[in-house]
Structure 1
Amino acid sequence: MVALKASTHTLLDGEVKVYKRGNSKRWQATFKIDQHWVRISTGKTVLEEAKTVARDQYLEYKFRAKHELPVVTKRFEDVAKLAIADMQKQLDADAGRKVYKDYIKALNLYFIPFFGKTFITSIDHQKIQDFNAWRKRVIGRDPKASTLNTHNSAMNRVYDEAVARGFITQGKVPILANKGEGAKRRPDFSREDYRKMIRKLPHWIEQGKGGKSRDMRHLLRDYVLIVANTGMRPGTEAENLRWKHVTVFEDNGLEYVEFYLHGKTKPHEAIGRAGTIDYLKRLHSRTEAIKDIEFYAMLKQKLDLPVFCLPDGTVTDNLRQTFKAFLTKHDLLICPKTGDNRVLYSLRHTYATFALVNDGMDIHALAQQMGTSIGMIERHYSHLTPRMKKDMFTGKRYELSAEEYAAQKAEGGAGVGDEE
């Protein structure tokens, strides 16, 4: 056994050592927790007082280790892990806010990698500025205001933890600014441009060369119509869509189509507008592997085959380019309200716009249909509020005539439908 110096004292059967450094009047303490050596200053010059502090600190660390909490120093990483553990505990108990998942992700992806070993008391204004520059390089652009709000809230959770545990005083907590770009309006199609697009698609298909080129155009037409009539996400949800995810059912003599969608977010169901079944039937009729099976019988088989595919069953990655070529040819590429190029994702935004303005759909129902949050709907479509409430603002109610109702119904509800 190694002999102890005369200035070293032990507690709790040797688990804790209390000692003095040569140039210090205050007693230090050291002990081992889960193979990790912890060294602390008791802050006391009187031995018995130092022993009391050392004993209390040892028991505190043992408690943390027993409950799978990190062995705490005042380093940012350790405090952040405490905050994460607390948020995760609440999430596991279904008592935490859903946004805690985003806070945890932000801390693990950005804050801990940058601030990790830095003592939380050493993070000042300049260190925050250095972090902002580093984060911009990692992301590749300036974060948007919504991202900064999430990140700042995540960082504040760490500081709340530090203040609560006495690691830092509230007055030393740095102010986190939000100078990010606000939620930008997204390009969509006006009702007039949408009608122009669906009128031009059939003729454009006929102008195409035979073979795969024309097959691509046929596929694009139905892809456009289905996305615009469901609000599904182009790319993720559309690419994952299989025939087994499509269900047709009847209610009160009316036929409905339901899609089970999964991609960017957790899975959700979406109902297609009137006419969507017809677009699915066209896709079915062009797919060699299933076209000879009656449509409704095919749906009942719940086949694990892609809905959006070429006749030979292959899935293409070139719809974006084909769509851009079509929009360019027909002077529809630029959204006049945003100045940005329209893309396939603009069809999803068009669905949301028409649902809010023309259908009067409430944002709670729209958020559920589109598999997104109410907050996201509010941020990106708040500019529609005056048009949504135009009748209230003008003091009148607008009722459709029989002719107008029939015209909208033929177009798929609120002006989002098939060719005229």
Structure 2
Amino acid sequence: MRQLRDDTHLILDGEVRVYRRERSKRWQAAFVIDGHTIRISTGKRDLAEAKEYARDTFLEYKFRHKNDLPVVTKKFSDVAKLAIADMRKQLDASLGRKVFADYIVCVERYLIPFFGAQYVTTIDYEKVQQFYEWRRAKMGREPKASTLNTHNSAMNRVFEEAVARGFIAHKNVPLLVNRGEKSERRPDFTREEYATLIRKLPSWIDAGKAGKPTDMRHLMRDYVLIMANTGMRHGTEALNLRWKHVTLFEEKDLQYLEMSVSGKTGRRDIICRSGTINYLKRIHERSDDIRHVPFEDLLKQPVDLPVFRLPDGTVSKNIHQTFRKFLTDTGLITCPRTGQNRTLYSLRHTYATFALLNDGMDIHALAVQMGTSIGMIERHYSHLTPRLKKDMLTGKRYELSRDEFEDQHAISE
């Protein structure tokens, strides 16, 4: 039998041990519930008060176990850190979803600051409603539905971690709702506006200061044209693109340009519009370290260098600023249909609009090319449906010759 110290006392037939640590005047207590050893501080200096506190706490834990409530619980911040560590581990191993990075930002920026000190078992409907009000004040606006989806998913990740570790019962996870405003129509370019953009780029570049400012304008032009002719995402997908990810192949005597892009939704292969190869060649010709290699030979080698780079090899994250200045200087900054300012993301929406309206691309193929869901395409481009069905709605049926089709649908420079 275990020898007890003089300052250790047993209560409730030995199920609870009340003791005092060395150099401490307050009594501690320990007991076992469902195989878990629970250690608590009674906060009491008086032994009788400590025994009473330990007894009440033990009975509370017994009640929780009997009623299928978690015996061990944790503060939200502790569980959130475990969830973040798990998501980062999966991202580092290329196993996790790319959206995990957004979840981590949300947890660190919004969820931990508000819920951090609370136990996960105490977060209920009222607490969630208080969080909604706090978040609205912090953001200074009503979040969009897409933002709320990300926040709800991030919070669910934390609660999934809590359930998996036995810190909370699944039935006690609070229900999260999304009452955010629906996303507005995205600003894009009409064919006429896009033609104006292309026409004004050369003279705008020539008006730039010699050196890096002009180099940035040249890079921005090719970046813009590649975005508009591939549908890839500005930012991560573009910045992750390396020369080794670009492939030329032939099929039935036709040459195709393929890119393997990686970003928000993982890696996917996309087929570029025919003019895209010309923009890549211009970047290649301006690159001091690789222009001596013939272009097609370059694409056959595993060259692990970024595609979007300045002549000295520098990768710039300021292309969006150069694009904004160009749009402002040329009067194209504001979309007259939405009233919103255009950004580099507008080129992705332009690609989708042209693909649906001019190329007759079906929604499924477009979703695969753009790395998104069919539902997203339907939600954001449903306003195009009447124009997509214009021939059927007006009863017109006609066919275009190959030359006429190419003249009407080309969007290259």
TM-score normalized with structure 1 length: 0.70
Q: 1:99 to 1:221 in 2, by over 3 A?
A: closer
Partner SS state of residue 256, structure 2: strand
The alignment status of 1:343 with 2:347, answered yes or no, reads no
How far residue 301 of structure 1 moved from its aligned partner, in angstroms, is 2.0
Q: 1:108 to 1:400 in 2, by over 3 A?
A: same
The alignment status of 1:222 with 2:250, answered yes or no, reads no
Q: 1:73 to 1:317 in 2, by over 3 A?
A: closer
Cα contact 1:191–1:415 (8 A) shared by 2: no
Q: 1:101 to 1:405 in 2, by over 3 A?
A: same
Q: Which residues in structure 2 correspond to 1:131-150 (within 5 Å)?
A: 131-136=131-136, 141-149=141-149
Match of 1:46 in 2: none
How far residue 295 of structure 1 moved from its aligned partner, in angstroms, is 1.0
Query: What is the one-letter code of the residue matched to 1:8?
Result: L
Match of 1:188 in 2: 188
Partner SS state of residue 130, structure 1: helix
TM-score normalized with structure 2 length: 0.71
How far residue 372 of structure 1 moved from its aligned partner, in angstroms, is 2.7
Choose 313-322 or 230-239, whichever is displaced more: 313-322
Q: 1:196 to 1:107 in 2, by over 3 A?
A: closer
Cα contact 1:102–1:150 (8 A) shared by 2: no
Match of 1:244 in 2: 244
How far residue 30 of structure 1 moved from its aligned partner, in angstroms, is 4.1
Cα contact 1:106–1:151 (8 A) shared by 2: no
CA distance in 2, matches of 1:209, 1:105: 41
The alignment status of 1:416 with 2:411, answered yes or no, reads yes
How far residue 182 of structure 1 moved from its aligned partner, in angstroms, is 1.2
Gaps of 5+ in 2: 19-29, 41-53, 91-96
Q: 1:176 to 1:217 in 2, by over 3 A?
A: closer
Gaps of 5+ in 1: 11-15, 20-28, 44-49, 62-70, 92-97, 409-413
Query: What is the one-letter code of the residue matched to 1:257?
Result: L
Cα contact 2:227–2:348 (8 A) shared by 1: yes
Q: 1:202 to 1:112 in 2, by over 3 A?
A: closer
RMSD over aligned CA atoms reads: 4.4
Cα contact 1:76–1:112 (8 A) shared by 2: no
Match of 1:31 in 2: 32
How far residue 153 of structure 1 moved from its aligned partner, in angstroms, is 6.9
Partner SS state of residue 309, structure 1: coil
CA distance in 2, matches of 1:270, 1:362: 15
Choose 358-367 or 192-201, whichever is displaced more: 358-367
Residues 107-150 of structure 1: CA deviation (Å, up to 9, x unaligned): 95555664456467755665333211333456565321133345
Choose 362-371 or 391-400, whichever is displaced more: 391-400
Q: 1:389 to 1:134 in 2, by over 3 A?
A: same
Residues 35-68 of structure 1: CA deviation (Å, up to 9, x unaligned): 533886658xxxxxx8xx89x759x89xxxxxxx
Match of 2:22 in 1: none
Cα contact 2:220–2:323 (8 A) shared by 1: yes
How far residue 308 of structure 1 moved from its aligned partner, in angstroms, is 1.9
Number of aligned pairs?
367
How far residue 401 of structure 1 moved from its aligned partner, in angstroms, is 3.9
Cα contact 1:183–1:379 (8 A) shared by 2: no
Cα contact 2:257–2:272 (8 A) shared by 1: yes
Match of 1:363 in 2: 363
Cα contact 2:104–2:154 (8 A) shared by 1: no
Cα contact 1:18–1:30 (8 A) shared by 2: yes
Match of 1:8 in 2: 12
The alignment status of 1:269 with 2:264, answered yes or no, reads no
Cα contact 1:9–1:18 (8 A) shared by 2: no
Match of 1:128 in 2: 128
Match of 1:385 in 2: 385
Query: What is the one-letter code of the residue matched to 2:412?
Result: G
How far residue 397 of structure 1 moved from its aligned partner, in angstroms, is 3.4
Aligned-pair identity in percent equals: 53
